[in-house]
C-alpha cells in the first residue's frame, strides 16, 4: 500500500539539486573527486524534494520493501520507504547484523568490501526497490542486487541520488532498470 501523495508542482531540476552537491578533491584517496551530498541532506526542503522526486517514480509499483546499503544509502532508502509506505531492509557491512545472513564480497572504486543481509529480509516475489546515494563503479549495487535476486525478490529498479557516469557503473547492472536523479 502506497501512502505518498507527492505534489507535482514542486519539481526541482537536476541543476538545482547539483547546487547542493560539493566536490571534494583527493578524498578518500588521491585522484578521486568525492561528491558530498551533506549540503543537500541538511536542507530540509531540497532533501524532501529529492526523496519525493525519487518516490514519485515508484508510487504505482507496489513496492513491498526498499533495500539500501549503509551509511548514506540508509538515509535515502529509509525516507523513500516511508514515502512509499514500504518496509525498509538494511544491507550492512560484515559483522553488523545480529542474525543469520547472506554475505557477498565486492569491488569498490578504490578497494574491496563485504556486505550482509538477513536471510529472511526479502520474501520470494516481493517488489523491491534498491536505493543508494551514488552509483560509481557499480560494485556495491551489483552485490546488493545479487542478494535480492538470490532471495527471489522482484527488483523493480535500482535508484540512486547521483550517478558518476564516467565510472560506467550501469554496465555492471545491464539487466537492471537504473534511475539516477543527478548525473555527473
| Helix (DSSP H) and strand (DSSP E) numbers for the chain | 5, 9
Domain that holds residue 120: 60-183
Is residue 50, in this structure, part of any structural domain at all? no
Q: Which of 57, 72, 92, 170 is catalytic?
A: 72
What cell does 64 get?
513491498
Is residue 99, in this structure, part of any structural domain at all? yes
Is residue 136, in this structure, part of any structural domain at all? yes
Domains of the chain: total: 1
Instruction: Determine the Cα–Cα distance for residues 159 and 56; give it in Å rounded to an integer.
Output: 12
CATH number at residue 173: 3.40.50.2020
Is residue 43, in this structure, part of any structural domain at all? no
What b/e sequence results for 17-42 when a residue is b if at least 16 CB atoms lie within 10 Å of its CB, and e otherwise?
Answer: beebbeeeeeeeeeeeeebebeebbe
Is residue 178, in this structure, part of any structural domain at all? yes
Q: Supply the pTM of this predicted model.
A: 0.90
Is residue 121, in this structure, part of any structural domain at all? yes
Is residue 143, in this structure, part of any structural domain at all? yes
pLDDT of residue 4: 35
Q: What is the pLDDT of residues 33-53, one digit of tens each?
A: 999 999 999 999 999 999 999
109 is known as an active-site residue: yes
Q: Which residues contact 116 (CB under 8 A, 6 or more apart)?
A: 91, 92, 93, 94, 95, 96, 97, 101, 102, 103, 104
Q: What is the pLDDT of residues 78-108, one digit of tens each?
A: 999 999 999 999 999 999 999 999 999 987 7
Is residue 111, in this structure, part of any structural domain at all? yes
Helix 72-84 vs helix 44-57: crossing angle, to nearest 10: 60
Q: Which of 57, 92, 109, 170 is catalytic?
A: 109
Is residue 18 within 8 A of residue 182, CB to CB? The reply is yes
70 is known as an active-site residue: no
Does the pLDDT at position 58 exceed 50? yes
Amino acid at each position: 500500500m502506497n501512502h505518498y501523495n507527492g505534489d507535482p508542482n514542486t519539481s526541482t531540476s537536476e541543476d538545482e539539486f547539483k547546487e547542493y552537491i560539493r566536490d571534494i578533491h583527493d578524498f578518500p584517496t588521491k585522484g578521486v573527486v568525492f561528491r558530498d551530498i551533506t549540503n543537500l541532506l541538511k536542507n530540509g526542503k531540497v532533501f524532501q524534494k529529492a526523496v519525493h522526486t525519487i518516490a514519485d517514480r515508484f508510487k504505482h509499483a507496489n513496492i513491498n520493501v526498499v533495500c539500501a546499503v549503509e551509511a548514506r544509502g540508509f538515509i535515502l532508502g529509509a525516507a523513500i520507504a516511508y514515502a512509499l509506505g514500504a518496509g525498509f531492509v538494511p544491507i550492512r557491512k560484515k559483522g553488523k547484523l545480529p542474525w543469520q545472513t547472506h554475505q557477498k564480497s565486492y569491488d569498490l572504486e578504490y578497494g574491496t568490501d563485504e556486505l550482509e543481509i538477513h536471510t529472511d529480509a526479502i520474501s520470494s516475489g516481493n517488489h523491491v526497490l534498491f536505493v543508494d546515494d551514488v552509483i560509481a563503479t557499480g560494485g556495491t549495487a551489483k552485490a546488493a542486487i545479487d542478494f535480492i535476486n538470490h532471495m527471489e525478490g522482484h527488483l523493480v529498479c535500482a535508484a540512486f541520488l547521483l550517478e558518476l557516469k564516467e565510472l560506467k557503473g550501469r554496465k555492471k547492472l545491464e539487466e537492471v532498470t537504473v534511475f539516477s536523479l543527478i548525473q555527473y
